[in-house]
Structure 1
Amino acid sequence: MGLMEAARGAVARVREDLAAAHRRDPAATDDLTILLTSPGLHAIWTHRLAHRLWQRGARRSAMVLAQGARSVTGVEIHPAAQIGRRFFIDHGMGVVIGETAEVGDDVMLYHGVTLGGRSMERVKRHPTVGDGVVIGAGARVLGPIELGDGSQVGANAVVVKDVPARATAVGVPAQVRRGAAQPDDHMDPAIWI
């Protein structure tokens, strides 16, 4: 891929992220304000660069960049974490995404969410989050579990077991309510087809 193609791709991703912010945040007024003031977007943009460095073997540089983003945005994303398109973090502060986490497209997290591990072993130890998932403020999703496409996690829930597609998990420990999740303004309706 040439430099011009890479630049066009990066600009397209930024535009896609700005559109996702408009769609998911009623306080989002205009592109310039979002571009300058959204710590969640700043964190994901920095993560994309850190992730690229990580994949190319520049791991120390990737970690330094990730820690710099954490200091500025309050969002900690390990450079090895895999994050899909149109990912949006509303408010941002206190979000932690671990090393082996995998996050699909059109996912929305609120502040204080942890996608964490429950093991010290060097294995897959963080969650896999499907497309179109919404995770409420303060939720903890722990271990190598799966959140199915279109599922929702309630605020302050502690999730340690798989959540099926289009189900809702609430409580401590989280209980699953099958079929309870419905499309709303925060989700991309395309995943409900």
Structure 2
Amino acid sequence: MSVVAIEHTTAAPKSLWRMIRDDVACVHQRDPAARNTAEVALLYPGVHAIVLHRISHGLWTAKHKFLARLLSFTARFLTNVDIHPGASIGERFFIDHGAGVVIGETAIVGDDVTLYHGVTLGGSSWSPGKRHPTLEDGVLVGAGAKILGDITVGRNARIGANSVVIEDVAPEATVVGIPGQIVRKARPRSGPGGRIDLEHHLITNPVADAMSIMIDRIDFLETRLAHLQQKVGASLADKGRPQIQTEDQTS
């Protein structure tokens, strides 16, 4: 079992009201458009989705599974966010622009996690047991990303928009691409005033980096070739032989 799951089961549980209050309060640190608490509580579908999930998850763990699924279905209809009532979600969870998010039954989400619209925490197996991802504390997942299977995304990792992640991700890493590849390791996650750094678009482009390296290498080889040609030409001139003309010199 992951560290996140152990922490959630051993720590003293907060009251439902306290967790919901923290879910509403954390929005001000992660969405510059949030103006006041009333607006967040009444008009943010991502907040509505997590509030209804916390209630349905309580029903699920109390073995009232039909009522839990009914409330989950209602929440999906109202918010366009599909969270299975069996999913375990930590504190201060935020779905920005809550739309099209899917979180599977055995997913485990740590504290202070942020998801953007279109994110899927999906399964990749028919086998019973743990089938969905574990997101440790502080993970940020960009819009449209898919995290599939029983894998672990380490603490404070970032998943770039539209990435498909099918393997474990180390803590503090940034992952981008299909399939996801680590393009940046440790990076500070806190901004001024302790706010979470939301600049998940500032990621390196591995294809552009490879092309840049190739261009630099070609420039070096061309310079070296020109230097060798000059040396050979000078040597032939000293011996009274005609110089070798390159394609550029004859054109």
| TM value normalised by structure 2 | 0.69
Aligned partners of 1:133 and 1:148 also within 8 Å: yes
State the partner residue of 1:109. Answer: 115
Measured in 1, the distance between the counterparts of 2:31 and 2:79 equals: 18
Higher relative contact order (CA 8 A, sep 6+): 1
Equivalent residue for 1:34? 40
1:126 aligns with 2:132: yes
Matched, 1:99 2:105: yes
**Is residue 15 of structure 2 the alignment partner of residue 9 of structure 1?**
yes
- For residue 182 of structure 1, report the CA deviation from its aligned partner: 2.8
Structure 1 gap ranges (5+): 1-7, 189-193
RMSD: 1.5
Larger radius of gyration: 2
TM normalised by structure 1 equals 0.90
Counterparts of 1:64-103 in structure 2, within 5 Å, are 64-103=70-109
Q: State whether structure 2 residue 30 is matched by structure 1 residue 21.
A: no
Give the structure with the larger helix fraction.
2
Length, aligned pairs only: 181
Does the 8 Å contact 1:152/1:181 carry over to 2? no
Q: Where in structure 1 do 4 or more consecutive aligned residues deviate above 2 Å?
A: 8-15, 184-188
Are the equivalent residues in 2 in contact too, given 1:164–1:178 (CA < 8 A)? no
Q: Is the 8 A contact 1:106 1:187 kept in 2?
A: no
Bigger shift: 8-17 or 22-31?
8-17
Query: Any idea what SS the aligned residue of 2:147 has?
Result: strand
> What are the Cα deviations for residues 131-186 of structure 1, in whole angstroms up to 9, with x where unaligned?
00000000000000000000000000000000000001100110013524431456
From 173, 184, 196, the counterpart of 1:187: 196
Aligned identity (percent) is: 52
Segments of 5+ residues of structure 2 without an aligned counterpart are 1-13, 198-251
Does residue 183 of structure 2 align to residue 173 of structure 1? Answer: no
Q: Which residue of 1 aligns with 2:63?
A: 57
